[in-house]
Structure 1
Amino acid sequence: MKPFPNSHEILPLNTLRDLWRWGVTILQRSGVFFGHGYPTPQEEARHLLLFSLSLPRDQDPTLWLDAHILPHEREEFLGLLQRRIEERIPVPYLTHEAWLGPHRFYCDERTLIPRSFIAEALEDALVFLIEDFHTLQRVADVCTGGGSLAILLALHCPEARVDAADISPDALAVARLNCAEYGLSAQIHLFEGDLLEPLEEGIYDLIISNPPYVDQAAMENLPAEYRQEPIAALASGIDGLDHVRRILTTAHRHLSPEGWLVVEVGHQADALEAAFPHLPFIWLDLSAGNRFVFALPYAALGS
């Protein structure tokens, strides 16, 4: 790969439009992998540029396209882009922020970058199972990581106590920051421990989980960007189901008779159904497809 351009080489790039176009080009040519919230070089370059210029993410960037860039602003964008390409650091680790829809979360290398189909499911796909989230009294998020799903759960279930568990004390430190940022430290209770174990005798109306589910073969071929994340938050044995198996065998002890378990399994739907042919998995209909997140009622798990 060619040496990364220095600031002198890009001096002819004077406007936001210039830098955005150049950023897209160099990202496209660099062979980086997109998969942490920004699926295209256009979106990654846009976000890095707006972040480096302290411009609002949710405002139409065309308002600023022809604005001239100051030398120190060019340097900041250049530095972020260079680290993104040469070190293969995902954008959310560079900016210390990740987004699930309109919701911003702090993140760093202590925890998995927030991304989950369950965030979408809470907005729409679960409505046919849970008519009124306001009626839920106690809910849980297992493998909470930086707490993003626990926070979305608390926002959807304002009357509920939210318990969130993770085995990583580092991840829980990030979760505390996010809970405080949203003013939800009193509603969300964080527990350190393995899967459902720290919940002890807790009984819940809804348990959600985005556990590790990457199989061994996929782990061996992960792009460099994913290897920046905590391996323990990704890997789950030979077939990617080690964590899900344990959740399925213990969840009924923690669900109310009307309760639901909702779990994300990525691309492991076929393997899961083969391993548990007796379970009537309900696959949620999501924008990316209908084989990524399942739901099961207490009755199915307790049988």
Structure 2
Amino acid sequence: NLTSLGMIFSGTSGAGTFTFTPVSGTAVTSGSVTINAGAATRLVVTGSATQTAGASNSITITAKDASGNTVTTYTGSKNLTFSGATSSTAPVTTPKVTNTAAADIAFGSTTALTFASGTVTTNMKLYNVESAVVAVTDGSISAAGADRLTVAVSASTMTKLAVSLTSPQTNGTAFTGTNTLTAQDAYGNTVTGFNASTNNVTVTNSLGGTVSGLGSGGTNVLNQAGDFTSGVANLTTDGFIYTGTSGAGTFTFTPVSGTAVTSSSVTINAGAATRLVVTGSATQTAGASNSITITAKDASGNTVSTYTG
């Protein structure tokens, strides 16, 4: 009585036969026996292993038994929760999965998907450049280990710039500290392939002075392929210089294609004293006093307040 003995088959489901072979005597093979999948024990996520930030990735979730057979009885609407991908930073945009009602639902929230014969296909959108390992659970069974989908997310096309300038700086002298300009996509990911020779970036300022030391010829334009390395321009290394009226002001970086960015306020201090300026009354009577002022100024005419003592 094979039932009482507890005969069990584990493996690929389908129709097959069983052969019983004695040590002595003739073997016998059964008629065809259909083996159905067992109970669903895990979910498996499949789809493209690469995608661009913000683009759709068609993914399939399949319910499987312990032997890897698709459980066709796993059907109807299931409340799934996705995880394993992070939000982009600028702006913060959470990864999403499209539910049965065609609405995009954020990772970490319940996403209702309707299964047929153990599978469902939908769209997933990831926004942060990373190697995401996408998992899913229905609260009882999950995708874990190799059942998850690993996706390499790459930046989309460049749409904007991000700038960081150190304050204060000195008039007529190359900027010091960390001063960077970064090419970004719509979600704040660095566009590593950005090329300033095909998308020039012009720098202007609110102080009325001039910017130099950049690009070809030391102008106020970043226009060389080497100005950006992996999507980031090191303005300190490039030799960014402001010359003009000292004070607090901002710098605006405008690409030919894409959105311009304006820095936070940067204080420009006077440069080194290069001359003395004498002022006073242009007329006086012989032997009378004339009040005069001597002022130390830099090459741009800014008063050098550090010239003291």
- TM-score over 0.5 for the pair: no
Counting helix residues as a fraction of each chain, which structure ranks higher? 1
- Normalized per residue, which structure has more strand? 2
TM value normalised by structure 1: 0.29
Which structure has the larger Rg over C-alpha atoms? 2
TM-score under structure 2 length normalisation = 0.28
